[in-house]
């Protein structure tokens, strides 16, 4: 930043101080790279879908854990807010400055520290890009145990800090299981070396878990040790067209039996999602006919001949029992890439269609089928949806059926106003009262903390607040977001 | 207990109070079952291997979360220590009273609360026995995602509280990944309803993680929600005889490639382990010849014909490359049961041989081969091992190679004395300095907290202590154990 600009660093509680020109001078003199004004543009001050705006005017790019420690120690002492940013691919605005905090960009911390080729464990700096890490470990016969649509931009520190889920959670599981160790800098600058690299450890409380999904509110994750998955020898996809939501769940139960250990993804989307991707992205639809619902199944195994036989038997049984109306199997790399591209760009396609409210819920099996109808009914009853000139253009769902995780999109002509007032907090209340989570894999970010009460008990929220106060007593980390709103 | 007996409830800090006859009367009047003296015998006051003795004289068996809450609220108010006990199958004495605390037995809390057959999720009271839960969910096409030698006695609340690992961790992963929710009673009696049942949740800090592996030091786990694994359709075992430790790791890397997604266990033991099981348990050895090392491999898949073909190709390649000297494949249920019995009773067989010091370490790949020789060399150099009349009879290793987890046994003629002084803390220091964990899956229990410093940094230990103070400010939960010793 230019030396004479000052940020108005005021958090919700009014206790944080403004960053002064002297502070910036201090960082620069300490050898910490201060981003030039020209570098702090939309990549650092806007979310992917344009719902949140950031106001960062001071951004630092440390190159080491020691530098992160210096910054935090200094900011804690002076009670200056700090927002941590990795690839800035988060959906709910958690990595954006909104109160003039210092933005801490971790993109210059991108060293692979170590790979154990026998145990299958990677240790990497927080700023390593997920796809780069995957490329790196593939040469050694492994893959990263997670995959996201934003793989080419998101960073492993952010993946851990948001407890990222994604496309193959069904197979490889949660970051809480796969992350073996974390190196974090506490708000007071102390370096917490919990960078354990072994699979089993029951020596005391698993303190690294605190940082998995904390969205930068308890400290800065500077390095990660993660258990890798063996690289599959054979991959195939199947695309299904189905006539009703309940058939998706029946097909899923069948897939878990018939495809068993080779099942690696089970994604679904509805008819309107399919149309929006075709319209907005100009991709061809993956099936010949139109269907009420689509499913994308992936298998990853060690022998294609076996996997193809299992897939064939599975699909034959689905067709024989009338669960599926059309299907195709893809095994050519280009065709599989195209199918994943179709699925991965679903949110981006919606964002091109209009102003996107994107929600990310977990729901119990019995309530998943009702969500879409409930939202459409609610908006229709308020006169906001259903006519050619309605303020809401589309309501769609897609997601990860095996993870109980549904993404709901409401596409409006504009943000705010009657539409927003109609959806929130109504939608969070609906999800909470049906036993769901208001944030399945996107996190709380900039404004969902206030809706936490719909899905978490008071004792749980109190414990979260206690943890925040314990680790960040001055409230400098990602102030005003996440649990601060609850 | 008889009403006139008093416990000397004195914790390490001297702050806890003795349980009085009035207290016992209070519990009884509140409708909480007080165990009779005759019921508090060795099952509650001794560990499995006879190293630790318990002194519980007041034991309560609540039947509900509300009763647990009543007990804790009362004990917290009066600063009376509380030790929680499930199946009492823990190795390091963590579930035994040693300072006259109230023993809280959860064996009367054994209801299965709910199973979601589509999502594959179980919700159960803490006192449910692991094997009973496995039997229950198998009828619905699932299995529990963990298995332990003590499956017929250990309870799910204890499995969570000790972050149990066990025999199929390699395939199904950690409790930190598989446990979806926990209901816990905090030391002040508040019920923490974090009994979430869905696979994905990023709404705030994952507070349930605190209780996974806390060994009853932060509160009482009263119910658990856990993600089940699909029941395999085909299971087979292979037993291998190998000439050297490094061949085990080479065979493991090959298994992860060739058996890939069907690999579900990879256990090993050394020659002396094999002899001790044969001698102590009178089981027949699993192979025809004697070998320096043995490996037990299990596959679990969805089609036996495919799995058998993969196993056959895998073993042929091992033989062709000289990695293995003898092998056999088992698929008959009786033969597989006998092989698992052989492996599961390894520790029990050692305990019959003499006084067993059992250690449970994680070690990085490059240091695993050195452990056995280092211990034998150390004991020999002190004149404690190697001769016919040495005080140490045997030093052996076995364990879970894919999890970095080695169990080390030192069998002595008696507990204590020069042998104990020679091993501890030397062995913990050796493991810590070689990048290992002093407690891979058994936990810290009654006396390993003091050795935590060998494998955890000061900042991590300080954070653990902060968490203990935050959740249990009066120090009533499992006093003097675990982190209290660090």
Task: Give pLDDT tens digits for A203-257.
Answer: 999 999 999 999 999 999 999 999 999 999 999 999 999 999 999 999 999 999 9
**How large a percentage of chain B has pLDDT more than 90?**
90
Q: Which CATH architecture best describes the domain B21-108?
A: 2-Layer Sandwich (3.30)
The predicted pLDDT at position B6 comes to 31
Q: Residue A41's pLDDT band (boundaries 50, 70, 90)?
A: confident
Selecting from A176, A190, A261 the residue whose C-beta is nearest the C-beta of B261 gives: A261
The answer, yes or no, to whether residue A6 has pLDDT greater than 80, is no
Q: Residue B144's pLDDT band (boundaries 50, 70, 90)?
A: very high
Restricting to A residues 26-65, those with a Cβ less than 8 Å away from any Cβ of B are none
User: Cβ(B445)–Cβ(B467) under 8 Å?
Assistant: no
The predicted pLDDT at position B462 comes to 97
The answer, yes or no, to whether residue A4 has pLDDT greater than 70, is no
The predicted pLDDT at position B402 comes to 86
Mean pLDDT rounded to a whole number for chain A: 94
User: Cβ(A81)–Cβ(A75) under 8 Å?
Assistant: yes
Arithmetic mean of pLDDT, A439-449: 94
The answer, yes or no, to whether residue A11 has pLDDT greater than 80, is no
DSSP string across A158-214: HHHHTT---TTHHHH--HHHHEEEEEEE-TTS-EEEE---SS---SS--GGGGGTT-
- CB-based contact B404 A363, cutoff 8 Å: no
Contacts of B438 in chain A (CB under 8 A): 203
The answer, yes or no, to whether residue B3 has pLDDT greater than 90, is no
Residues pairing with B143 in the sheet: B229
Q: How far is B362 from chain A (nearest CA, A)?
A: 6
Q: Which CATH architecture best describes the domain B112-230?
A: 2-Layer Sandwich (3.30)
The answer, yes or no, to whether residue B337 has pLDDT greater than 90, is yes
Restricting to B residues 141-200, those with a Cβ less than 8 Å away from any Cβ of A are 141, 162-163, 165, 169, 173-174, 176-178, 186, 190-194, 196-200
- CB-based contact A452 B196, cutoff 8 Å: no
Q: How far is B336 from chain A (nearest CA, A)?
A: 21
Q: What is the pLDDT of residues A385-403, one digit of tens each?
A: 999 999 999 999 999 988 9
- CB-based contact B207 A252, cutoff 8 Å: no
The predicted pLDDT at position B14 comes to 62
Phi and psi (nearest 5°) for A218?
-115, -5
The predicted pLDDT at position B48 comes to 81
Q: What is the pLDDT of residues A162-201, one digit of tens each?
A: 999 988 999 999 999 999 999 999 999 999 999 999 999 9
What are the E-state strand segments in A76-172? 82-85, 102-105, 112-116, 121-125, 142-143
Q: What is the pLDDT of residues A353-388, one digit of tens each?
A: 999 999 999 999 899 999 999 999 999 999 999 999
**CATH fold match for the domains B21-108 and B354-455:** no
- CB-based contact A202 B443, cutoff 8 Å: yes
CA dist B294 and B401 (Å) reads 11
Q: Given CB atoms, is A424 within the 8 Å cutoff of chain B?
A: no
The answer, yes or no, to whether residue B77 has pLDDT greater than 70, is yes
CA dist B311 and A56 (Å) reads 57
Q: How far is B309 from chain A (nearest CA, A)?
A: 10
Question: Per CATH, which fold does B234-346 belong to?
Answer: Alpha-Beta Plaits (3.30.70)
Four-residue CA torsion sign, B263, B230, B346, A204: positive
The answer, yes or no, to whether residue B9 has pLDDT greater than 50, is no
- CB-based contact B169 A116, cutoff 8 Å: no
Domain chopping of chain A, boundaries: 21-108, 112-230, 234-346, 354-469
Contacts of A236 in chain B (CB under 8 A): none
CA dihedral B376, B448, B150, B68 (to 10 degrees): 180
Contacts of A163 in chain B (CB under 8 A): 202, 206
- CB-based contact A209 B209, cutoff 8 Å: yes
- CB-based contact A261 B302, cutoff 8 Å: yes
Arithmetic mean of pLDDT, B286-290: 98
Q: Residue B11's pLDDT band (boundaries 50, 70, 90)?
A: very low
The answer, yes or no, to whether residue A8 has pLDDT greater than 70, is no
Q: How far is B389 from chain A (nearest CA, A)?
A: 35
Q: What is the pLDDT of residues B153-178, one digit of tens each?
A: 999 999 999 999 988 999 999 999 99
Q: How far is A463 from chain B (nearest CA, A)?
A: 7
Q: Given CB atoms, is B300 within the 8 Å cutoff of chain A?
A: yes
Arithmetic mean of pLDDT, B211-217: 98
The answer, yes or no, to whether residue B301 has pLDDT greater than 80, is yes
- CB-based contact A209 B204, cutoff 8 Å: no
Selecting from A190, A260, A404 the residue whose C-beta is nearest the C-beta of B459 gives: A190
- CB-based contact B202 A173, cutoff 8 Å: no
- CB-based contact A301 B260, cutoff 8 Å: yes
- Measured CA to CA in angstroms, residue A11 lies from A461, A480, B384 at distances of 21, 6, 65
Q: Which residues contact A28 (CB under 8 A, 6 or more apart)?
A: A34
Contacts of A436 in chain B (CB under 8 A): 198
Contacts of B163 in chain A (CB under 8 A): 202, 206
Phi and psi (nearest 5°) for A20?
-105, 165
The answer, yes or no, to whether residue A10 has pLDDT greater than 80, is no
The predicted pLDDT at position A12 comes to 44
- CB-based contact A440 B260, cutoff 8 Å: no
Contacts of B174 in chain A (CB under 8 A): 176-177, 199-200
First to last CA, chain B: 33
Arithmetic mean of pLDDT, B439-454: 95
- CB-based contact B200 A365, cutoff 8 Å: no
The predicted pLDDT at position A14 comes to 62
Q: Residue A50's pLDDT band (boundaries 50, 70, 90)?
A: confident
The three-state secondary structure class of A106 is coil
CA dist B118 and A250 (Å) reads 8
Phi and psi (nearest 5°) for B173?
80, -170
Restricting to B residues 268-297, those with a Cβ less than 8 Å away from any Cβ of A are none
User: Cβ(B226)–Cβ(B179) under 8 Å?
Assistant: yes
Query: Which residue in B has a C-alpha nearest to residue A453's C-alpha?
Result: B203
In CATH terms, A354-469 corresponds, of 3.10.450.50, 3.10.20.30, 3.40.190.10, 3.30.70.2740, to 3.30.70.2740
Q: Residue B99's pLDDT band (boundaries 50, 70, 90)?
A: confident
CA dist A298 and A293 (Å) reads 17
Provide the 8-state DSSP code for B9.
Answer: -
Identify whether A385 is preceded by a cis peptide bond (ω within 30 of 0).
no
Question: Per CATH, which fold does B354-455 belong to?
Answer: Alpha-Beta Plaits (3.30.70)
Q: Residue A13's pLDDT band (boundaries 50, 70, 90)?
A: low
ipTM entry: 0.95
- CB-based contact A256 B120, cutoff 8 Å: yes
Contacts of A206 in chain B (CB under 8 A): 163, 176, 209, 212-213
- Tokens 């823990």 map to which residue? B90
- CB-based contact A456 B204, cutoff 8 Å: yes
Q: Residue A15's pLDDT band (boundaries 50, 70, 90)?
A: confident
The three-state secondary structure class of B177 is helix
Provide the 8-state DSSP code for A270.
Answer: E
Angle of helix B271-281 versus helix B346-353 axis, rounded to 10: 70
Residue of A158, A203, A233, A485 for testing the chain B interface, max B β-carbons within 10 Å: A203
Q: Given CB atoms, is B386 within the 8 Å cutoff of chain A?
A: no
**How large a percentage of chain B has pLDDT more than 70?**
97
Q: How far is B116 from chain A (nearest CA, A)?
A: 8
The predicted pLDDT at position A394 comes to 97
């Amino acid at each position: 930043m230019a030396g004479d600009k000052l940020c108005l660093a005021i958090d919700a509680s009014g206790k944080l101080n403004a960053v002064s020109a002297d502070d910036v001078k201090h960082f620069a003199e300490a050898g910490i790279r201060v981003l030039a004004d020209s570098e702090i543009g939309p990549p650092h001050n806007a979310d992917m879908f344009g719902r949140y705006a950031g106001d960062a005017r001071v951004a630092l790019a440390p190159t080491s854990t020691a530098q992160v420690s210096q910054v935090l120690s200094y900011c804690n002492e002076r009670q200056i807010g700090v927002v941590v940013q990795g690839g800035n691919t988060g959906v709910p605005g958690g990595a954006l400055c909104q109160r003039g905090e210092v933005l801490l960009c971790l993109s210059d911390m991108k060293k692979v520290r170590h790979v154990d080729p026998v145990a299958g464990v990677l240790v990497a700096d927080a700023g390593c890009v997920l796809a780069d890490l995957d490329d790196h470990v593939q040469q050694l016969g492994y893959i990263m145990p997670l995959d996201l649509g934003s793989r080419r931009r998101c960073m492993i520190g952010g993946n851990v800090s948001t407890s990222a889920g994604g496309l193959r959670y069904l197979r490889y599981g949660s970051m809480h299981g796969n992350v073996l160790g974390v190196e974090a800098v506490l708000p007071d600058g102390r370096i917490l070396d919990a960078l354990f690299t072994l699979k089993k450890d029951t020596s005391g409380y698993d303190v690294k878990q605190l940082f998995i999904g904390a969205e930068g509110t308890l400290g800065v994750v500077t390095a990660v040790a993660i258990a890798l998955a063996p690289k599959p020898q054979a991959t195939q996809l199947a695309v299904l067209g189905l006539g009703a939501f309940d058939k998706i769940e029946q097909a899923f139960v069948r897939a878990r039996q018939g495809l068993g250990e080779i099942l690696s993804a089970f994604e679904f989307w509805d008819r309107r999602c399919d149309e929006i991707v075709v319209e907005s992205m100009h991709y061809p639809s993956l099936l010949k006919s139109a269907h009420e619902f689509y499913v994308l199944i992936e298998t990853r195994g060690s022998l294609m001949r076996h996997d193809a036989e299992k897939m064939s038997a599975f699909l034959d049984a689905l067709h024989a029992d009338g669960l599926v109306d059309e299907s195709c199997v893809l095994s050519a790399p280009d065709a599989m890439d195209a199918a994943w591209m179709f699925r991965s760009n679903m949110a981006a396609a919606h964002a091109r269609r209009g102003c996107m409210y994107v929600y990310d819920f977990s729901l119990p099996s019995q309530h998943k089928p009702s969500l879409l109808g409930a939202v459409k009914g609610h908006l229709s009853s308020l006169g906001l949806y259903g006519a050619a000139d309605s303020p809401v253009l589309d309501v769609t769902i897609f997601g990860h059926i095996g993870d109980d995780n549904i993404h709901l999109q409401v596409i409006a002509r504009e943000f705010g106003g009657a539409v927003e007032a109609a959806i929130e907090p109504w939608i969070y209340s609906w999800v909470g009262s049906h036993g769901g989570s208001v944030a399945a894999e996107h996190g709380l970010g900039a404004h969902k903390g206030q809706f936490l009460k719909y899905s978490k008990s008071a004792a749980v929220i109190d414990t979260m607040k206690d943890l925040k106060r314990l680790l960040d007593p001055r409230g400098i980390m990602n102030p005003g977001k996440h649990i601060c709103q609850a």
